[in-house]
Amino acid sequence: MPPRKKQETQPKPEQGEPEAAFLWERLNRPAPAPRSMLTPERIARAAVAIADAEGLDAVTMRRLATDLGVAPMAAYRYVSGKGELLELMVDHVYGEMSPPEGAEDWRQAMRTLSQRTRSVLLQHPWVARAAVFTLTPNQVAVVESALASLDELDLDVDTMMAVCRAVDSYVKGAVDREIGLAELMQEQGWASADETRSALAPRMTWLMNTGRYPTYQRYINEATRKDDVQWQFETGLDAVLDGIAARLGI
């Protein structure tokens, strides 16, 4: 039988030390007298740097301790294991999505927040997968910002949340496609969009030669913005916002 993978364990709390139900409750308490320079922010920055460079699977408590130059158990003073470490990381990244200020209306606010979200998610490709399983202060702050932009439109709260989720779903779907294509190109060693199209050309040619996809064939022959992902994203986003405005009369 293959050897069992060693589990990263959490040290038991010291006798008399209170335990909170979850990470953010603990971190919200007044900080004790510092025993070292280690902080939740420093832990998050180091872990995010590892994930950005090598992927989420490279982040372990032991690797984190090595990069921070601390004892393997030092980070456990703040997080119970990789699950809570992931929360710190996601919260750190969502903190980069600063809520738009001074927006003229809900549409401008939503558009700005969507563009910032796309930018941050592309910088940290692992976040879209990780954030599905977390609920952190900065994640909630982003949703709060989106909801607040709709709060004076005489909409009920269910509709407000439905609008926020529709826009968020578009943004994350578009970003997921960008990230997926980038990962495929890296795996295959394709250095450019032209090289990618050349590699896929035989199967695309076969598909088009079946005659089943005339409109797609027209796109292939006539499109001039195949590689303009910024334009594609903004055009799709405006279509979503136009649809919301028309549907709700706002």
pLDDT in tens, 55-108: 999 999 999 999 999 998 999 989 999 999 999 999 999 999 987 887 789 999
Tell me the whole-structure pTM to 2 decimals: 0.83
Q: Does the pLDDT value for residue 8 go beyond 80?
A: no
Question: Mean pLDDT across the stretch 19-26?
Answer: 71
Count CB atoms within 10 A of the CB of residue 164: 20
Please tell me the predicted confidence (pLDDT) of residue 19.
52
- In the chain, the amino acid numbered 57 is D
Q: What sections of the chain are H helices per DSSP?
A: 23-27, 40-54, 61-68, 82-94, 106-123, 127-130, 137-150, 157-188, 193-209, 214-222, 229-248
Please tell me the predicted confidence (pLDDT) of residue 35.
56
Q: How confident is the model at residue 133 (pLDDT cuts 50, 70, 90)?
A: confident
Question: Which two tokens mark 195?
Answer: 């090289």
Mean pLDDT of the chain: 89
Give the model confidence (pLDDT) of 37-59 as tens digits. 789 999 999 999 999 999 999 99
Q: Does the pLDDT value for residue 3 go beyond 80?
A: no
Give the model confidence (pLDDT) of 209-230 as tens digits. 999 999 999 999 999 999 999 9
> Do 44 and 95 touch, CB atoms closer than 8 A?
no
> Do 56 and 130 touch, CB atoms closer than 8 A?
yes
Q: How confident is the model at residue 17 (pLDDT cuts 50, 70, 90)?
A: very low
